Structure 1
């Protein structure tokens, strides 16, 4: 990979590498992206975002997971992307559209009297409950309030996608729940690669 300039952003704790590829000269491989996102040995990030021009919207966001695999959307990622393009003058209005693999998303930079984006609203569209579009392996559709027997005991969950799949689990006390352990365990059990939107 050629040397690149990058910025590092975070949205609600998720961190991202943001790279301006306005001339579309970069074609990073999955391995290169994974290496950049690797903590302690790379830059370290939850995702990798390319900023590109769009023929369908004001600007285009190309998003990759930390393992280098392409993804259709990331809610925290698109807010970081919106701040980057607004603060760097790639858009000249507080309302603009972003092309993503999950469709066009509508952005509003909330005017707080400052010249930089500090509060950002994103219209993510309607939630997706169709299990095939989410990529969930269960015999019910939609997958709402379903109980799954696990090695950690029975779990009540719902599956939804806002462009990327989520398993939503209600717990009585999130501060004392092993959220990180459960998050690592759930993805390979329930979700397949994302189906085309």
Structure 2
């Protein structure tokens, strides 16, 4: 049963207050839509996320109202586009809700463009959330629903031809679209070289998130990530979820596994009905208020 929490968002105004946190090096700025004095448009998002002209981050998590869940979330990429779902972003957002007293219990629901998800604070440190588990929803392999332009019902081991390269791709949606490429060896230079071309390939109508993945054992994989709208990224919860789902689908790993990324490790569990459960740490970096000068630049 869905319990809608009564939280006094509009009565706790801290004008232009922000929190910056990271999940395994994947960092986001969290803000409350009722507390900002500027329009959250594309140019302002780009400025705030810029490491030189703004705070610097991999995106903005904006708390909004929802009639479907306890809290609503908009996930804004540093290029100004909007993401359907982010695993690290969800854990960071859940930490913010718990740490700042908006969530009145350790379990609550969050409404995203990719659907309603459920979060649970598993471990705390000095009364602050440290380890959070998120129910990421179901993995979807049907090409048309990802979406992928494919003649196959499921885009598995399909050839993707680039200008100077070709890959066998495996595509899945975990609320947002992903392309997983199995590799014997992982190369940061290679994913940076081809990441943008694959992300924006005509085969993917809504662009795509990319992962290079190497199987280490039945219980462990290693991945590199190119995130749609953000580029090369140290860690990603939705990318880890997508890779885990593809590995199970292809029979390469067990349903419980660890996904190692440059930023750290997440624990994933893929149920028989393809429900995905993800567990990992989150840490706050800083909190404060946007300066009058930055606000002047935004306006």
Shift of 1:177: 6.0
Alpha-carbon distance between aligned partners in 2 of 1:130 and 1:37, rounded to the nearest angstrom:
34
For the structure 1 residues 56 and 25, does the alpha-carbon distance in structure 2 shift closer, same or farther, using more than 3 Å as the test?
farther
The match for 2:195 is 183
Distance in 2 (CA, whole Å) between partners of 1:113 and 1:32 is 34
Alpha-carbon contact 2:17-2:36 (below 8 Å) kept: no
Would the aligned equivalents of 1:22 and 1:53 in 2 still touch at CA under 8 Å?
no
Mapped contact 2:47–2:54 kept (Cα < 8 A): yes
> Hey, what does 2:248 align to over in structure 1?
none
- Structure 1, 25-34 or 96-105: larger mean CA deviation: 25-34
Any conservation in 1 of the 2:57–2:78 contact (CA below 8 Å)?
Answer: yes
Note the C-alpha offset of 1:160.
Answer: 0.9
**Which residue in the other structure is 2:95 paired with?**
83
1:41 maps to 2:35: no
Alpha-carbon distance, 1:176 to partner: 6.0
Larger RCO (alpha carbons 8 Å, 6+ apart): 2
- Gaps spanning 5+ residues in structure 1: where? none
Distance 1:5 1:49 in 2: 13
Unaligned runs of 5+ in 2: 1-14, 208-299
Residue 192 (structure 1) aligns with? 205
Contact 1:147–1:156 (Cα < 8 Å) also in 2: yes
- In the alignment, structure 1 residue 54 sits paired with structure 2 residue 59: no
Query: Are positions 1:125 and 2:137 aligned together?
Result: yes
CA deviation string 1:69-120 (max 9, x = no partner): 2221111111110111111110011111111111210101103564111101
Cα deviation, 1:43-79, whole Å, max 9, x if unaligned, reads 2222111112332221111111211122211111111
Seen in structure 2, the aligned counterparts of structure 1 residues 19 and 111 have a Cα distance that, compared at 3 Å, is same
Deviations 1:10-68 (A, max 9, x none): 22222212112246876411221122223323222221111123322211111112111
For residues 30 and 96 of structure 2, the distance between their equivalents in structure 1, rounded to whole angstroms, comes to: 8
CA contact (8 A) 2:17 2:35 kept: no
SS in 1 for 2:17: coil
Q: TM-score, normalised by structure 1?
A: 0.86
1:105-159 Cα deviation digits (max 9, x unpaired): 0101103564111101100111122222222222222111212233443311111
The CA distance in 2 between the partners of 1:112 and 1:33, in whole Å, is 31
Q: Write the distance in 2 (CA, Å) between the matches of 1:15 and 1:65.
A: 11
